[in-house]
Amino acid sequence: MKAKVIPLHPDDSSASDAQEWIVRIDSGRLTAQERQDLQAWLAQDPTHPKLLDTHALLWCEAARANFPPIASGSSGPVEAKGRSFTAGIGAPSLNWLQSRTAWALAGLITMGLAFVIWGTPIGKTFSPAGAPLAMPTSMTTDIGQHLKVPLADGSLIQLNSASTIQVAYSKERRLVVLDKGEGLFDVAKDAQRPFEVMAGTTTIRAIGTRFSVLRLPDGRTDVTVFEGVVEILREQTANTDQPLRLAAGQTVTAKANKMVLQELAKPALANKLAWQEDRIIFDNVTLDEAIAQVNRYSRIPLRITEPGLMGLHVSGAFSTSDVPVFLRSLEQGFGLHVERNAEAYLISRSSLR
C-alpha cells in the first residue's frame, strides 16, 4: 500500500511570512509600525489570519514538547521556562526556539499537529453571550512552567504556572477565557474588536493595553493594569451598573459582591510580575495569602492547621522553584512548625511555644 504524502509547500511565501511574524511577536512587544504592517499583511489575503493562527499554535506546541536527544550533531540543550529541549541541526550550535531556520524545521516536525488542531476541537466548547465565536483553542501550563502564546492580531499572552486559557476570535470579538491561574495580556490595539478576558463572573475588556488577570482558588479575581485602561464588568451587575474603569498602576480584587480598588506604587507593580523571573515577593501580606500564592508553584499543597495563624503578616522574596526555602523561613523567622504528611505540608504553631 502506497503511503499518503501530504505536501508541505516549503516555498510558500505566505507560510514563511506567518512564521516570521510569529517569531517577531514572540520576541517582544511589536512597535506601532510593526502592528500596522501585521494588520496590512492579514488583510492581504483571507487565508492569512488562519495561517497565522496555525503557526502560532505550532509555535506554542513546539515550545511545550519534549524532543528526544539526537545522536549526532546535537547542539545541546536549549533552556525554556519549565522545560529543557535538545535540538540537533548540525554544527554550528543554534538557539532552536529563536532561529528562523530552526523554526522552519520545527514547522516540519510538528506540521501534523495542524490537522489535529483544525480538524477537531481542543478543550471544551463554550458559547458565551454575543456573536458566534470561532473554535476555542486551549492552552495549559504545568506547575512551574511559563508559556508565551502569540495571537493572530499581534497580541501576546504570557501564562504563569498551572494556568489554562481558551482563545476564540471572531470578526466582532476577541475573547480569552481564563479557566484557572494567571495570564499577562499584551493587547494589540483594534478599536473595532474589543479584547475580552473572562475569569469566572468577571469580564475584563480592553482595546490596546497591558494587564494581568489572576484567578484565585477561593473565587477571587485580581486584575492589575500596567499600561492603558481596561473596563471591568461583573455578571451580577452587567445590566445595571457602568463598568469600572481601571488605569495603569491600579489593581482591583473582585470578590463575591464587591470590588476592592487599590493604587500601586512602582515597586508593588514590579512585584506582581516577579513570577516572570521565577520569583515570588511578599510585602506585608497575610500568611493565608502567602500560602495561596506558594501553592500555585508547589505539587505538594501547604495547609495552615490553626485558623489563628492566617492573619499573621509576612514579607520576603523566594524562588518559585524552591518551596522548602519558604517553609524554612516560616520555621526560623516566625517560629512556626512545619510537618510533612502523605498529603501536604502542615503549618502550625511551634510545639516549643
Specify the CATH number for the domain of residue 215.
2.60.120.1440
Residue 322 belongs to a domain with what CATH number?
A: 3.55.50.30
pLDDT one-digit tens code per residue, 325-353: 999 999 998 899 999 999 999 999 976 44
Q: Give the pLDDT of residue 66.
A: 53
Q: How far apart are CA 46 and CA 287, in angstroms?
A: 53
Same domain, yes or no, for 173 and 114?
Answer: no
Q: Could you tell me how far CA 49 lies from the centroid of its own chain? A: 22
pLDDT band, very low/low/confident/very high, at 199 (cuts 50, 70, 90): very high
Q: Among 275, 297, 327, identify where a domain stops.
A: 275
Identify the domain boundary among 87, 120, 153.
Answer: 120
Q: pLDDT at residue 77 above 50?
A: no
Whether residues 85 and 39 fall in one domain: yes
Domain boundary among 249, 275, 301: 275
The b-or-e profile of 74-111 (16+ CB within 10 A means b, else e) is: ebeebebbbbebebbbeeeebebbebeebbebbbeebe
Kindly state the percentage of the chain with pLDDT values over 70. Answer: 69
Query: Which whole number is the average pLDDT over 216-224?
Result: 91
What is the spatial distance between Cα 55 and Cα 49, in angstroms, rounded to a whole number? 10
| Residue bearing the bigger pLDDT, 3 or 276 | 276
Q: Are residues 155 and 140 in the same domain?
A: yes
What gap in Å lies between CA 48 and CA 248, rounded to an integer?
A: 33
Q: Is the pLDDT of residue 53 over 80?
A: no
Same domain, 306 and 232: no
CA distances, 336 to each of 11, 64, 303, 353 (Å): 64, 38, 13, 9
Q: Per-residue pLDDT for 65 more than 50?
A: yes
Rounded to an integer, the average pLDDT of 85-113 is 35
Grid coordinates given for 18: 506567518
Same domain, 78 and 154: no
**Do 283 and 229 fall into the same domain?**
no
User: Are residues 254 and 138 part of one domain?
Assistant: yes
User: What is the rounded distance in angstroms from the CA atom of residue 344 to the CA atom of residue 302?
Assistant: 6
Domain count, the chain: 3
Mean pLDDT for the stretch of residues 188-193: 90
Consecutive H or E run containing 306: none
Strand partners, 150: 156
Are 282 and 270 in the same domain? Answer: no
* 99 lies in the same domain as 226: no
> Average pLDDT in the 223-250 region?
84
CA distances to 152, 210, 239 from 204, rounded to whole Å, are 20, 12, 15
Residue type, 76: G
> Do 55 and 135 fall into the same domain?
no
Residues 6+ apart with CB under 8 A from 232: 202, 203, 204, 205, 223, 243, 244, 245, 246, 252, 254, 259
Residues 87 and 193 in one domain: no
pLDDT at 167: 93
pLDDT over threshold 60, residue 21? yes
Same domain, 54 and 194: no
Q: Could you list the residue range(s) of the whole structural domain that residue 245 is in?
A: 123-275
